[in-house]
Amino acid sequence: MNQFLFLTSWWVPFYSLIGALLTLPWGMGIIQRTGPRPAVYFNLLTTVLAFAHSLLVFTNIWDREPENLVISWFKAADLDLSFSLELSPVSIGAIVLITGLSLLAQVYALGYMEKDWSLARFFALFGLFEAALSGLAISDSLFLSYAFLEVLTLSTYLLVGFWYAQPLVVTAARDAFLTKRVGDLLLLMGVVTLSTLAGSLNFSDLYEWAQTANLSPVTSTLLGLALIAGPAGKCAQFPLHLWLDEAMEGPNPASVLRNSLVVAGGAYLLYKLQPILALSPVTLNTLVVMGTVTTIGATLVSIAQIDIKRSLSHSTSAYMGLVFLAVGLQQGGVALMLLLTHAIAKALLFMSSGSVIYTTSTQDLTEMGGLWSRMPATTTAFVVGSAGMVTLLPLGSFWAMLAWADGFVNISPWVIGVLILVNGLTALNLTRVFRLVFWGKPQQKTRRTPEVGWQMALPMVSLTIVTLLLPLMLQQWYLLPDWESINWYVVLVLFSSTVLGVGIGATVYLHKAWSRSRILAWRFVQDLLGYDFYIDRVYRLTVVTVVALLSKISAWSDRYLVDGLVNLVGFATILSGQSLKYSISGQSQGYMLTILAVVSILGFFISWSLGLLDKLPF
C-alpha cells in the first residue's frame, strides 16, 4: 500500500484540479438552485484527499531514496515531450505544507466569504491555485516549473481582481499581472537559452551540465539574471516588488496563501536553480544586493503603514529578501527552513488580521483598539504568529535564523548585522500593530466586535497549535542542532534584537488621531516610508515616461510614415488607373499593335543589355 501511494503521489495536484473543475457549474451560474455550498464541499473534499495522500507518503518517505518519474506526453520522430517529476522528502513535504495550509484557508474562507455572491468562483480559483503550487513542488523540469509559475500568475490576477466591480481592485489586479509578466518574460528567455545550451530542461540533467559547463562571463551573467527575474517577480523583490502591496485589495483568504506559499513558490524555484546560478558570480552578487535592499527597505516601509494587511505584506517581501540573500550566499538549506517557518507564521498572522477586518469592517489601524478581551482566539493567533516570525525561543523562526547566523558569523559578519536589523524592526512593527489593534481603548468600530465563528476560529486555533509544535516537528526531522554545537553568543544577540524591538514597539508613543506626525522632520520620514520611498513615482517619471514617449514615436511613424507610404502607393495606383481609362478605344487591332510595340521595345533592351546587338554585322 505504501509503495502504491508513493508511486501515485504525482497524482496529488490533480485532486485540486478536479475539485476546481467540479466547481465550474456553480461558478459559471449553470447550477443556481442549490446555492454555491456544494462547490465549496467538492473543493474541501479533494483538498482533504490530497492532504491525506501526501501526508501518508511523507510519513514513510524518510527511509527511501529520492526518485524521478518521467511522464511522456508526446513522442514523434525526434520530438520527445516529457515531464520529469521528483519524489523526495523535500518535494513531498512541500506538498503536505501546501495542501495543509490550503485546507485551513478554505475552511477559513467558508466563514469569511459566507455571504459572497460568487463563492463558487472563488473556490474554483482557489483549487487552481493549489494545483499549480502542488505541481511546482514536485516538478523536476524547468519548463514544467515555468508553466506552473504562469498558472500562478494567472490565478493571482483572477483572485486579486475577484471583486471586479471596484475600480481600485481592477487596477491592482492589472498592475500585479503586468509586473509579474516582466519577470516571467525574462525567465522565458532564460529557459529557451538554457534549453539550447544544455540540451535538456530537467533539473537532474541541468545539474550534470552545470558541472562541466564552460560559458563566457557575459553569457553566464545574462543567463543568470534572466533566470532570477521570474522568482524576483513572484517573491516581490526590488525592483518588481510593488505588486504585492496592491494585491492586498483581493479577498483575505487568498492573501493567506499568497503571502505564505505563492511567494515561497518563486523562492523554491530559485533554490532549485542554485547550481546554474553559481556559474556566474555576478548573478550571485545580484541576489545578495537584491535581497539586502529588499529586506531592509521593505521592513522600514512596513513600520509606516496604517493598513494592517499592507503592513504584513511588506514584511513578506522582507523575509523573501532574506531567502534571496541566503541563496546568493549559497545557503540553500537555510533558505528552505526559513521558507517553512515563515509560511506557517505568516499564514496565521493573515488569518488573525482577516478576522479583525471581518468583524470591524476596516483595515485602518487608527480605527482599531481594545480587541484583546473581545476576540481572545484572534488575539492569541496574532501573538503566536508574531512570535513565530521573529527569533523568540523556542519557536521555528528562531532555529532558522540561528542556523543562518551560525553559518555566517565567521564568513560574512555583515549578514548578521542585516539579520539583526530586520529581526528587530519586524518585532517592533508587529508590536506596534498589536498595540494599535488589540491594546488600548476601544474605538467606534471595535466597541461591539464579537469573536469570529467556528469556520474562521477553527483554522486559526489549529494553525496556532501547529506553530507552537513546529520546533518538535523540526526535531523529529533532525533539523535542529545539538545543544553542544550552539553558538550562545549568536543566540544572545538574536534574542536581544527581538527583546529590543518589542521594547521599543511597546513604549513608543502611538496616537491614533495622528495619521501623520505634526513634526516636519518625522512627517518627511513617515511619508518617505509610507509611500515606499516614492518608487512608483520614480517609475512613472522614468520607465513609464520612456515607454510613453516610445509609444508616441511609434504611433506617429505608423500614422505618417507607414500609412503615408501605403496611401501614396494607393493614390498613385488610382491616378494611373484613372489616366489609363482614357486610352481605351475598344479596337482589338489597336491593342495588338500596342502589345507588339511594347514587346519589341522590351526585347530590344534585353538584347542590348546582354550584348547580343554587338554581334550583328551592321
Per-residue pLDDT tens over the stretch 98-118: 999 999 999 999 888 887 778
Residue 488: the pLDDT is 77
Taking the CA atoms of the chain, what radius of gyration do you get in angstroms? 31
| Cα–Cα nearest to 200, from 122, 276, 267 | 276
| CA nearest to 506, candidates 425, 443, 435 | 435
Q: Do residues 337 and 400 make contact, with C-beta atoms less than 8 angstroms apart?
A: yes
The pairing of strands 67-76 and 79-87 is: antiparallel
pLDDT value for 618:
53
Of the candidate ranges 72-81, 107-116, 202-211, 248-257, the one whose mean pLDDT is the lowest? 72-81
Q: How far apart are CA 149 and CA 133, in angstroms?
A: 8
**What local confidence, expressed as pLDDT, does residue 382 receive?**
92
Euclidean distance between the first and the last CA atom of the chain, given in angstroms as a whole number: 104
The tally of CA atoms less than 13 A away on the side-chain side of residue 577 is 6
Contact 10, 97 (CB under 8 A): no
Cell of 83: 515531464
Structure-derived torsion over alpha carbons of residues 334, 335, 340, 342, reported in degrees to the nearest 10: 110
Question: Could you give the C-alpha distances from 463 to 126, 247, 280, 407, in angstroms and in order?
Answer: 19, 23, 40, 30
Place of cell 546587338: 613
pLDDT tens digit string along 485-537? Answer: 777 788 888 888 888 988 988 887 776 655 566 667 777 777 777 777 788 78
CA 564, distance to chain mean position in Å, is 45
Output the average pLDDT for the chain: 83
Q: Dig out the grid coordinates for 85 from the structure.
A: 517529476
Q: Is 370 left (phi over 0), alpha (psi -120 to 50) or beta?
A: left
Give CA separation, 267 vs 66, 145, 270, 327, 616, in Å. Answer: 21, 12, 5, 9, 83
The model's confidence at residue 348, banded by pLDDT at 50, 70 and 90, is very high
**Secondary structure (H, E, C), 556-572:** HHHHHHHHHHHHHHHHH
Q: What is the arithmetic mean of pLDDT over 429-442?
A: 86
Instruction: Report yes or no: 299 and 326 within 8 Å, Cβ to Cβ.
Output: no
Lowest mean pLDDT segment, chosen from 155-169, 203-217, 523-537: 523-537
In whole angstroms, what is the distance from residue 453 CA to residue 354 CA?
13
**For 438-513, where are the alpha helices, taking DSSP H only?**
454-476, 488-507
Strand, helix or coil for residue 482: coil
DSSP letters for 338-349: HHHHHHHHHHHH
Instruction: Flag whether pLDDT at 10 surpasses 60.
Output: yes
Closest CA to 426 of 495, 364, 505: 505
Percentage of the chain with pLDDT > 70? 93
- Identify which has the larger pLDDT, 411 or 190: 190
**How far apart, in whole angstroms, are the C-alpha atoms of residue 318 and residue 302?**
9
What's the confidence (pLDDT) of residue 511? 66
Count of beta carbons in the 10 Å neighbourhood of residue 70? 12
- CA–CA separation, 503 and 345 (whole Å): 21
- What's the pLDDT score for residue 581? 65
Q: In this structure, what C-alpha cell is assigned to residue 12? A: 496529488
With CA atoms as reference, report the closest residue to 325 among 223, 210, 408: 408
